[in-house]
Chains A and B, each alone.
Chain A
Amino acid sequence: MSLPAHDRCTLPYIICLASIAGLILPGSFGDLVFAGGAAQYLLTAQEKSGKQIYVHGTSPGGRKISAYLGESSVEVPGRTMPCANCHGLDGRGKPEGGVVPSNLTWEALTKPYGVTHPEGRTHPPYTDRALELAITRGLDPAGNKLLNVMPHYQLSQEDLGDLVAYLKRLGKDHDPGLTENSITIGTTIPARADLAGIGQAIKAVTTAFFEEVNSRGGIYNRRIELKINATSDTPITTSAIVKRFIQNEQVFAMTSAFTAGADKELAALMDNLEVPMVGPLTLYPQGGYPLNRHVFYILSGVEGQARALVNFACQRMPVKRAAVLIVYSDDEMAKGVLEAITDQCRKSGCGPPEPYGYPNADSDVPGFAAKLKQTSKSVIFFLGTSREAIALMKEASELRWSPTFYLGAIAGNEIFGAPPSFAKKIFFSVPSSPDDHTRTEEFRDLATKHKLPAHHLGVQRSVYSAAKILIEGLKRAGKDLSREKLIQALEGLYEYPTGVTPAVTYGLNRRIGAMGAYVVTIDLEKKQFLPASGWIDSN
């Protein structure tokens, strides 16, 4: 990897060598010595265990933690009332419903002159032992009862020791990948040789974008440090490699990782490691319920596009209940789309559709076409290749039958070979259109200045918008940054214009930024794609 321009040394020679070594040397040695004081943020193993108890209310050793509430000793599992619920990840407390939880930062707990609480309760400073009593008996150092919303916890001595050890660091520890002057962002590129162009596009655009951010002072004086790794042969090995990468390189958040082929595994990994990931490159976003809080997709995948296509088709149908046929190739991937179409037909009031599997042998296609014609339905959602769609259209044409075809998979140029009787009868959807390119000059300037490659422009736009969304999230999360704050900031994005995609909205229950598609039709004579609709929401 060549050194970005702003890293060229203007510092004395020795420091310069060190910083280059830090960039090149993999592993923790380089990080610890050169990454600008990262060590002060690292938690010990005991503090890490304590943090798990504080944040999740579960014991790293698998031991029981119970919470008892009020005089009546209502017992619930510790995980339903972890400390962080009320006292916050930073320990400063989250007031709600008239309850003002105490500040648990060590400085606040150990003020030499003691603490006087709003309700008049006063007590001397906390000690380790006093904290243990507060947690297990609900008493402050003066022996006063704590607020009755504060549960008493029953936990092993070891877990209690870990928790107290962490409380001394609370509010001062940072998520991995974050220092006073840097934020480490990771990405993953495809390892396969035939996808090398995509890898180059990811690397070039991300590097250029972050270089621009850094040249303007970074985010609250923190530089963005980019780390890159590559996928492996199988989803399982890819997941293992990315996990090692995130842990070894101390990655704070991921951007535009190439997850295609390992979508489920990598999304689960991010959830497990609690690492936010923005704009993974995939056609199959895992945006359904239960929600994966950590992965933010930009565009609708195949399923979301199919839903928009159904909304469009149902609106055009003169008789709403004129049911629909779905023809699908026997493909694992088609299954999700099939379900999405069925569900959306129900919501749009034009279902239920009848599914038909595409024949395995070409010789069976004529008979298959005849069978479909007999249903006297006039709308087909087709989930297969363009070649298969054309073969079916040709047989239908022989039978003087020309139903409207909605292609659920992406259409290639071969679709122009469709029979003339299907003119104006073929539609498909795309997740973004040139109409969305409202601020292309920003992207163009970046491309010119950093000599971005001329290929894979679609990928480049996606990578660019992911970087832009991530940076916006980091800005909104503020100087006192954490992964959780980044997630909350991203959830607050509403109709955010990336300039090269439809506007992006996230929310508590939403992880696909632009949920919908444009419908496109085909001019068979001029061999052109023509817009058939404006933006159709598939929310």
Chain B
Amino acid sequence: MPIKVLVMLVALMSVPGSTAGSVTANTGAISSLRIPDTAVYDQNGKRLSFYADLIKGKTVAINFIFTTCTTICPPLTAMFRKLQQDLGERIGLEVRLISVSVDPANDTPERLHDFAAKFKAGPGWTFVTGNKAEIDALLQALGAAVGDKNDHTPMILVGNDVTGYWTRAYGLTPPATLVKVITEAANRE
């Protein structure tokens, strides 16, 4: 029972205006974030270095999903899909979307590929999985590690590698607001 109550409290705190429908992004700047250059696989089975290939020199938005998660991940991913549409030509060139699996043991590149296809993920949006121990360490570094994957936080990490500015946003922040957060990160000195 106490665990359930805690989950609900967390839910209440992290869902901005769940009943009132407020649109604040509820972001919070992060003072320092070291991104490891973890060896990962993308949804096409291609081997990538997380930092060098996906983060370096870019502005990114990272969310955390797994393919058998059916309650929170489809909305999170649908939001990224809309973000992809709203960002238009900026995607891939200036801004990159990354979805990291919090269940690498089960999420093979094939599963991620199907998941990505379901939400019509386009170029510039990379789904990431890999060796469980390494992905766990990556999640730890990104502040998204959880004991139980079902309790993973609906959080989006937005950052600009060039300036080192990083911030977090609630995963279901309306895409229009997120575009502002991303633009701010991209333009920040």
Contact = CB atoms under 8 A, between A and B. Distances in A.
Interface in A503-533: 507-509
A81 B78 contact: yes
Interface residues of A, number: 35
B18 A80 contact: no
Contacts of A86: 70-71
A264 B70 CA distance: 29
Contacts of B176: 72
B8 interface: yes
B150 A95 contact: yes
A96 B68 CA distance: 11
A286 B174 CA distance: 43
Interface in B74-94: 74-75, 78-79, 81-82
B23 to A, nearest CB: 6
User: Interface extent on B, as a size class?
Assistant: 35 or more
Contacts of A151: 75
Given A71-B21, A71-B23, A97 B153 contact: yes
B79 A69 contact: yes
A96 B150 contact: yes
B7 A508 contact: no
B79 A121 contact: no
Contacts, number: 116
A127 interface: no
Given A95-B71, A99-B72, A509-B106, A144 B79 contact: no
Interface in B1-54: 7-8, 10-12, 14-15, 18-21, 23
Nearest to A138: B21
B18 A96 contact: no
A289 interface: yes
A458 interface: no
B150 A85 contact: no
Interface in B109-127: 110-111, 114, 118-119
Given A80-B119, A97-B72, A72 B8 contact: no
A148 B74 contact: no
A358 to B, nearest CB: 34
Contacts of B70: 84-86, 94, 96
Contacts of A509: 106, 108, 110-111
A112 interface: no
B152 interface: yes
Interface string A88-100: 0000001111111
A289 B113 CA distance: 12
A290 B114 contact: yes
Contact of B153 (A95, A98, A101, A290): A98
B130 interface: no
A27 interface: no
A45 interface: no
Contact of A98 (B15, B74, B82, B118): B15
B106 A508 contact: yes
Interface in A109-141: 118-121
A74 interface: yes
B22 to A, nearest CB: 9
Contacts of B78: 67, 69, 74, 76, 80-81
A424 to B, nearest CB: 40
Nearest to A509: B108
A43 interface: no
Nearest to A74: B82
Given A86-B71, A118-B8, A147 B18 contact: yes
A80 B81 CA distance: 12
A149 interface: yes
Contact of A71 (B10, B72, B174): B174
A328 B171 CA distance: 55
Given A97-B151, A98-B10, A100-B11, A76 B81 contact: yes
B171 to A, nearest CB: 8
A76 B71 CA distance: 15
Given A72-B175, A81-B75, A509-B111, A97 B154 contact: yes
Contacts of A67: 78
Interface string B164-183: 00000001101110000000
A149 B119 contact: no
Contact of B18 (A84, A119, A508): A119
B44 to A, nearest CB: 14
A529 to B, nearest CB: 37
A70 interface: yes
Contact of A144 (B19, B108, B118): B19
B12 A119 contact: yes
Interface of B: 7-8, 10-12, 14-15, 18-21, 23, 68-75, 78-79, 81-82, 106, 108, 110-111, 114, 118-119, 150-154, 171-172, 174-176
24 contacts: A69-B75, A69-B172, A71-B21, A71-B23, A74-B79, A81-B75, A86-B70, A96-B152, A97-B72, A98-B7, A98-B11, A99-B11, A99-B71, A120-B19, A121-B19, A148-B15, A148-B18, A148-B21, A148-B172, A149-B71, A149-B172, A507-B106, A508-B106, A509-B106
Given A70-B174, A145-B21, 19 more contacts: A69-B78, A71-B174, A72-B175, A80-B74, A81-B74, A84-B70, A85-B74, A95-B71, A95-B150, A96-B70, A97-B71, A97-B153, A98-B14, A98-B15, A99-B11, A100-B11, A149-B71, A151-B75, A290-B114
Interface of A: 67, 69-72, 74, 76, 80-81, 84-86, 94-101, 118-121, 144-145, 147-149, 151, 289-290, 507-509
